[in-house]
Amino acid sequence: MLDLKFVRENVAKVKEAVENKNEKTDVDLILSVDEKRRSLLSEADKLKHQKNVVSEKIAQMKKEKRDAKEEIEKMRKVSAQIDSLDKELKEVEEKMADLLLTVPNVPHSSVPIGFDEDSNVVVRTWGEIPKLDFEPRPHWELGQILGILDLPKAAKVSGTGFLVLTGKGAKLQRALINFMLDLHTQKHGYEEVLPPFMANRPSMTGTGQLPKLEDDMYLCEREDLFLIPTAEVPVTNLHREEILKAEQLPVYYTAYTACFRREAGAYGKDTRGMIRVHQFDKVELVKFVKPETSYDELESLVIDAEEVLQLLGLPYRVRVLCTGDLSFAAAKCYDIEAWASGVGKYLEVSSCSNYEDFQARRMGTRFRPKKGGKLQYVHTLNGSGVALPRTMIALMENYQTKEGTILIPEALRSYMGGMEEIK
RNA sequence: GGAGAGGUGCCGGAGUGGUUUAACGGGGCGGUCUCGAAAACCGUUGUGCCGUAAGGCACCCCGGGUUCGAAUCCCGGCCUCUCCGCCA
């Protein structure tokens, strides 16, 4: 959420952001509602002031046992006026709040302007794309041959877009989770959190999934709870409506969770295998930082995520997203994409974003800079560190052998009980 | 699910229908003292909104209601705690 004052004072900038992000927010409507709101507010405030003054007078008169009938009668009328103004004001303010939630964050000045993902810019690549001397198999074939991925059973149990990992496949997934959590907690200084996999509306609104993306999420209607689409939601909301101490910043969290996405509107895309599924595992990184450091923190966040792929020996590239591909709440975002030999393309395994104070303002997460200074909103960031099925895909497809087995990267072997190969 | 208790500021914790941002304590900040520090003492310390400003308004979990006037009384909701039931 942007500050209403900021919108008022930076109309051109906000309209440009709406345009560049391909959003449809009506900024002029916001301005006119704001004007209405302010005029109602000052009218109501005047009457309330009168009420307060006269109420005090009535109290005084009662104390002196004088008759206050006339004043009471007058106030009865004023109160009625206030009531009706307040009612109108409430409607206008609710409308204002709803409108403000539809204004996207303003992209950082370093973000390339562009309409869609074709304008994303590769900032670096790492590793060599493996040159296999045989026709590489896609992961679903490998999974079937080795008996570690059973898509037909997943379809039977739940439907398309779900996975059943079995035996060494399940173990490999668990190994990856543990490997990543250990890396981030032990080497990168993140605190591990295991949050709920369901979140309420205020939380979903806090991080910016609501109101825009409601249809992309699974909703348990009886409880009005959403299955989390990412650990970003529960972990970032840990500090909703809180005032953090300046000296405790920056705060780093890492969390493993399952993630649930309806993938509405993605029908026909990546339907085979486990590239795009309704439920997947992910290790997430979340940061709460001081505003002046947030862009440095974004760079180090990306590096922390990249290290996962480096240690696994998976080649990847990092792209900075252009304005049109940038999510609603983000000010800047890097995608990390791992190369997968079987399907022959780069797969997005991480998205690292700086939200600046956009989420913090929605959540009410602030800190006091020091010495009785004014409260300020923190900056929040998060990134996958990293998402699992696609990392599994890259691993399976890049480490496959001519015989259809999969070599296990060095870094993972201790997590696999010393296993060197899945065969 | 049943019964009870409670939700107050940065934190702990009082609170009478009528000068309430709200006793008291802690913390923070400023100062006195000190070579320096601790201790002690004194002072100070909420947030948001409107307004060029002076100033004003709102806020004691959330939403309604009663009243000239509600942190205080009534109703609904959410959350926490205790006991009982159920349960991996």
- Convert the pLDDT of each residue in A64-106 to its tens digit: 777 777 888 888 888 888 888 888 888 898 889 889 989 999 9
Under the banding of pLDDT at 50, 70 and 90, the label for residue A165 is very high
Whether nucleic acid strand B comes within 7 Å of the CB of A57, the answer is: no
Nearest nucleotide by C1' position to the A80 CA atom: B68
Per-residue pLDDT, averaged over A387-414, amounts to: 96
Q: Look at residue A371 in the predicted model and tell me its pLDDT.
A: 58
CA of A196 to C1' of B75 (A): 33
Answer yes or no: is A193 CB < 7 A from strand B.
Answer: no
Nucleotide nearest to A63 in CA–C1' terms? B18
CATH number for A117-422 (one of 3.30.565.10, 3.10.580.10, 3.30.930.10, 3.50.50.60): it is 3.30.930.10
Report chain B positions within 7 A of protein CB atoms: 10, 18-20, 28-30, 45-51, 56-58, 64, 68-69
- Rounded to whole angstroms, the distance from the CA of residue A249 to the C1' of nucleotide B34 is 34
Beta-sheet pairing, A121-126 with A198-199? unpaired
Lowest mean pLDDT among A53-62, A133-142, A159-168, A248-257: A53-62
For the purposes of burial, counting CB atoms within 10 Å of the CB of A5, is it exposed (0-12), middle (13-18) or buried (19 or more)?
Answer: exposed
Pick out the nucleotide with least CA–C1' distance to A71.
B68
User: How high is the pLDDT of residue A57?
Assistant: 84
CA atoms of A384 and A350, how far apart (whole Å): 5
Q: Terminal CA-to-CA distance of chain A, rounded, Å?
A: 51
CA distance A326 to A333: 7
pLDDT for the residue numbered A248: 81
From CA A204, how far away is CA A195, in angstroms rounded?
Answer: 14
Q: What's the average model confidence in pLDDT over A362-390?
A: 85
The answer to whether the C-beta of A79 is closer than 7 A to strand B is yes
Tokens at A38, concatenated:
């302010």
Nucleotide nearest to A53 (CA to C1'): B19
Q: Which residue is nearest to nucleotide B10 (CA to C1')?
A: A243
- Distance in Å, residue A100 CA to nucleotide B75 C1': 33
| DSSP classification of residue A26 | -
Separation of A373 CA and B32 C1' (Å):
25
For the CA atoms of A306, A308, A314, A316, the dihedral, rounded to the nearest 10 degrees, stands at -20
Higher pLDDT, A18 or A248: A18
User: How many angstroms is C1' of B25 away from CA of A265?
Assistant: 58
Topology (CATH) of A4-100: Helix Hairpins (1.10.287)
Q: Which whole number is the average pLDDT over A206-222?
A: 89
Domain ranges of chain A: 4-100, 117-422
Query: What's the CA A55/C1' B73 distance, rounded, in angstroms?
Result: 19
* CA–C1' A374–B47 (A): 10
Give per-residue pLDDT as tens, A293-344: 999 999 999 999 999 999 999 999 999 999 999 999 999 999 999 999 999 9
pLDDT at A36: 93
Which residues, other chains included, contact A226 with Cβ-Cβ below 8 Å and sequence gap of 6+? A198, A199, A200, A201, A204, A209, A217, A218, A219, A220, A233
Distance (Å, rounded) from C-alpha A327 to C-alpha A319?
14
Distance from residue A222 (CA) to nucleotide B76 (C1'), in Å? Answer: 19
Q: How many percent of chain A have pLDDT more than 90? A: 69
What's the CA–C1' distance between A34 and B54, in Å? 24
- Give the model confidence (pLDDT) of A275-295 as tens digits: 999 999 999 999 999 999 999
Least confident of A122-131, A137-146, A242-251, A332-341: A242-251
Minimum CA–C1' distance nucleotide for A372: B29
- Which residues 238-257 on A are within 7 A of strand B at the CB atom? 243
A398 CA → B56 C1’, Å: 68
What's the pLDDT at A72?
A: 85
Q: Is the ipTM of this complex over 0.90?
A: no
A72 touches strand B (CB under 7 A): yes
Q: Which of residues 352-391 of A touch strand B (CB under 7 A)?
A: 371-372, 374-375
Residue A373 in this model has a pLDDT that exceeds 60: yes
> CA A378 – C1' B72 distance (Å)?
36
Q: Note the pLDDT tens digit of each residue in A226-256.
A: 999 999 999 999 888 888 878 788 999 999 9
pLDDT score at A369: 76
Domains A4-100 and A117-422 share a fold: no
Q: Which of residues 89-108 of A touch strand B (CB under 7 A)?
A: 90
Which nucleotide in the DNA or RNA is closest to residue A74, CA to C1'? B68
Residue A372 pLDDT exceeds 70: no
pLDDT at A15: 96
